[in-house]
Amino acid sequence: MIYLDNAATTRMYDGAITLMAQACGERWFNASALYKEASDESRRIKEAREKVSAALKAGDGDVYFLSGGTEADNTALMCTRKAKGSRIIVGEGEHDAVINPAKQLKEQGFDVVFAPIKPDGGVDEEKFAGLLSCDVSLVSVMHVSNETGAVNDIKKLAALTKRVAPKAVFHSDGVQAFGKIKVNLRDLGVDLYSVSSHKIHGPKGIGALYVAKGAPVKPLVYGGGQEKGFRSGTENGPAVEAFAFAAEQTMRDFEANYSKKRNFIEQLKSELQSACPEVRIITDTERSAPHILTVAFGGVRGEVLLHALEKRGILVGVGSACSSHRESRFKTLLGLDEHYRDGIVRFSVSEFNDISQAAEVAEAAAEEAAKLREYARK
């Protein structure tokens, strides 16, 4: 099997699996209890928090563990202090974990506007600036597009926002950025930043929200007061430990793996362009994260091509796996003509992929696309 849907989820590191299994079997204690074993578990969670915080270069901001990127995004949008009816700016190409809470806020009477994206999936900075006003209370723009890998200049966008609306809260969904590009939260100037474990070879069901010192955000989940009162619920110690392990290993091997992923994507792009004349490259690889290549095959449906490749042992994506049951919003947002609009396929790699796979994938994609076009003509 050749797995090229790493933007959806990643294979866990062996060390993370071992650590999580060990934690589940040997130290399953509730970190909020009073006996020594519980205190030891609380200490391990504290150490894990410090590791994730260090990987994010979070400085004096707080890192709170939650159930994943979706909860982090929902907390960021729904739980920040916002003046009634104030303006909220959200990137047009955001993940549904941001888009759908934004729609809820619009129904509550907030002035929610969507910043347009460019053909590569990144936010149009000029049009974004045109949406800013002094009554903006919240901005949410993803760091890296989960659909195309486009990297947004979050530092610039945050500075623009604060210049016009100093009290606005700036949130960035960093789920596709963390571990893929360098993230320095001390430098970005964001108030809130979401990350997820299973995108960096850790377990599912655990993520984190960075909250800058003084950011006006309250809990989404109330209860026993865990996570310093920010996220109640018995701490998932084993998953937290495995998440921290994955974060440390990802950052330790960052440079080598960045180059490996970038080289794979560039090779795949070249092979696809040679093997398949009717392919349009959507990802601007000179300004994108290293792990995603999104293309559009002319005259075919991406979903059908996905299943054709699946039969050959090649697993790819057609956009966000979280919304695979619905039409991708990107079919219209990217401005593709009718010939290409339905043929979007997303290839996403990890350090476990080998560059020798690129030629095989391109050849298979070209062959299957040609078969599908021929079938469509009959």
Catalytic residue among 79, 134, 276, 322: 322
Q: Please tell me the distance from the alpha carbon of residue 341 to that of residue 310, in angstroms, as a whole number.
A: 21
Helix or strand or coil: residue 354?
Answer: coil
Contact call for residues 159 and 170 (beta carbons, < 8 A): no
Backbone φ and ψ of 271, nearest 5°: -65, -40
Q: Catalytic annotation on 322?
A: yes
The H or E element containing residue 131 is helix 125-131
Joined tokens for residue 355: 């560059």
**Amino acid identity for residue 88 in this structure:** I
Q: Please tell me the distance from the alpha carbon of residue 121 to that of residue 146, in angstroms, as a whole number.
A: 9
Q: Please tell me the distance from the alpha carbon of residue 336 to that of residue 327, in angstroms, as a whole number.
A: 14
The H or E element containing residue 2 is strand 2-3
Buried b or exposed e, range 213-232, using 16+ CB within 10 angstroms: eebebebbeeeeebbeebbe
Q: Please tell me the distance from the alpha carbon of residue 162 to that of residue 190, in angstroms, as a whole number.
A: 10
**Which residues are paired to 108 by β-bridges?**
none
Contact call for residues 26 and 211 (beta carbons, < 8 A): no
Dmax over Cα atoms in the chain, in whole Å?
Answer: 73
Q: Please tell me the distance from the alpha carbon of residue 259 to that of residue 254, in angstroms, as a whole number.
A: 9
Cα distances from 45 to residues 14, 237, 240, in angstroms, run 20, 6, 7
**What torsion do the CA atoms of 214, 160, 95, 199 make, to the nearest 10 degrees?**
-70
**Which residues are paired to 150 by β-bridges?**
288
List, by residue number, the catalytic residues: 322
